[in-house]
């Protein structure tokens, strides 16, 4: 049921004439559905904006929400669903904000038993359905990007790379390491080596309950990559179970330095750098 020019003008007249009553009823329905989690004033503003841009779109010659006259209306709808998604409303609650106009409109034209009015209502109803679907889609997109952002933030939070000493950085890993997280940690560690010019890195896995082959491989690859860049890695805090896993899996740690605790690892690094300087001094003196 497409919107022809006549029904468009009839509809925009209807929407304009009863603007006050319509938006009031519409707002009322939305307020009830959201159970007071958004202020009446805020909702009234949103409803009026939506109402305004519907009239504008109809007056502009809109036949389908996707066409060029629907740009402004689509923008208002995305704005609305983005806001709802960010504030934690459900998809249904978001869609009701749009669909509520149907009820409000129906109450308005109920007395009017004109066939033309009915056809207009049906055509408009199809448009509102499109608007609802569009709202739902932007809601889902927003939620997806929210989830992606949060996952990224979580990764950042859970993987601090700290400077421990001049030329020594450390990553204290806490929690389960999956392959994706291990990869992120390792990339950040290597980047920190470059940024701080630190030739030593300590990977502390005291807080890691278990490792699987993939994660162990990631750690190993990082140590090798760091070496290629001219830095040395020490692994500290290996739990007994993890040591057993590593051996059982047949993973070769080769000549990678492992220490019982972060403190031991730091002492080891300081001794490495310290021994170098004292022996050099000894040589100069001699």
Partner 1 sequence: MERVPILKIGDILLVSIQVDMSDQTAVQLQEDLAERIVATGSHGVIIDITALDIVDSFVGRMLSAIASISKVLDAETVVVGMRPAVAITLVELGLSLNGIRTALNVERGMELIAAARADEWHEADGDEDAETTATS
What are the residues binding partner 1 (CB under 8 A)?
186-187, 190-191, 193-194, 197-199, 221, 224-231, 276, 280, 282-283, 285-286
Choose between 143 and 188: whose C-beta lies nearer to partner 1.
188
Extract the tokens encoding 164: 């421990």
Containing 233, the helix (H) or strand (E) segment is: strand 232-236
Choose between 113 and 283: whose C-beta lies nearer to partner 1.
283
Name the residue among 270, 245, 260, 269 with its Cα closest to residue 206: 260
Smallest distance, partner 1 to C-beta of residue 262, A: 22
Smallest distance, partner 1 to C-beta of residue 186, A: 8
Choose between 63 and 183: whose C-beta lies nearer to partner 1.
183
Distance CA 188, CA 243 (A): 25
Distance CA 106, CA 211 (A): 62
Smallest distance, partner 1 to C-beta of residue 277, A: 11
Residue 189 and residue 195 in contact, taking contact as beta carbons nearer than 8 Å = no
Smallest distance, partner 1 to C-beta of residue 273, A: 12
> In which region does residue 211 sit, left (phi positive, over 0), alpha (psi from -120 to 50) or beta (all else)?
beta
Residue 238 and residue 259 in contact, taking contact as beta carbons nearer than 8 Å = no
H helix intervals, 87-178: 91-109, 115-158
> In which region does residue 233 sit, left (phi positive, over 0), alpha (psi from -120 to 50) or beta (all else)?
beta
Q: Helix, strand, coil: what percent of the chain each, to 5?
A: 70, 10, 20
Choose between 50 and 193: whose C-beta lies nearer to partner 1.
193
Smallest distance, partner 1 to C-beta of residue 190, A: 3
Choose between 29 and 203: whose C-beta lies nearer to partner 1.
203
Please calculate the CA angle 247-253-257 and round it to the nearest 5 degrees: 125
Smallest distance, partner 1 to C-beta of residue 154, A: 22
Choose between 27 and 159: whose C-beta lies nearer to partner 1.
159
């Amino acid at each position: 049921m497409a919107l022809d020019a006549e029904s468009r003008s009839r509809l925009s007249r209807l929407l304009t004439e009863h603007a006050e009553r319509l938006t009031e009823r519409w707002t009322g329905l939305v307020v009830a559905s959201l159970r007071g989690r958004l202020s009446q004033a805020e909702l009234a503003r949103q409803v009026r904006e939506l109402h305004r841009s519907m009239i504008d779109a109809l007056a502009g010659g809109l036949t389908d929400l996707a066409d060029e006259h629907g740009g402004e209306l689509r923008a208002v709808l995305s704005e609305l669903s983005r806001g709802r998604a960010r504030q934690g409303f459900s998809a249904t609650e978001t869609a009701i904000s749009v669909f509520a106009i149907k009820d409000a409109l129906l109450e308005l034209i109920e007395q009017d038993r004109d066939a033309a009015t009915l056809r207009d209502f049906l055509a408009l109803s199809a448009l509102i359905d499109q608007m609802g679907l569009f709202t739902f889609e932007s809601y889902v997109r927003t939620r997806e990007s929210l989830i992606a952002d949060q996952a990224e933030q979580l990764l950042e939070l859970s993987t601090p790379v700290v400077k421990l000493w001049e030329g020594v950085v450390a990553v204290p890993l806490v929690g389960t390491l999956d392959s994706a997280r291990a990869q992120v940690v390792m990339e950040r560690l290597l980047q920190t080596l470059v940024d701080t010019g630190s030739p030593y890195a300590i990977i502390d896995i005291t807080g890691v309950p278990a490792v699987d082959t993939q994660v162990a491989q990631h750690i190993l690859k990082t140590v090798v990559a760091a070496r290629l860049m001219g830095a040395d890695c020490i692994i500290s805090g290996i739990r007994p179970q993890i040591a057993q896993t590593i051996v059982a899996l047949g993973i070769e740690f080769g000549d990678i330095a492992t220490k019982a605790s972060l403190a031991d690892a730091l002492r080891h690094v300081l001794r490495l750098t310290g021994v170098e300087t004292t022996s050099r001094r000894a040589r100069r003196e001699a």
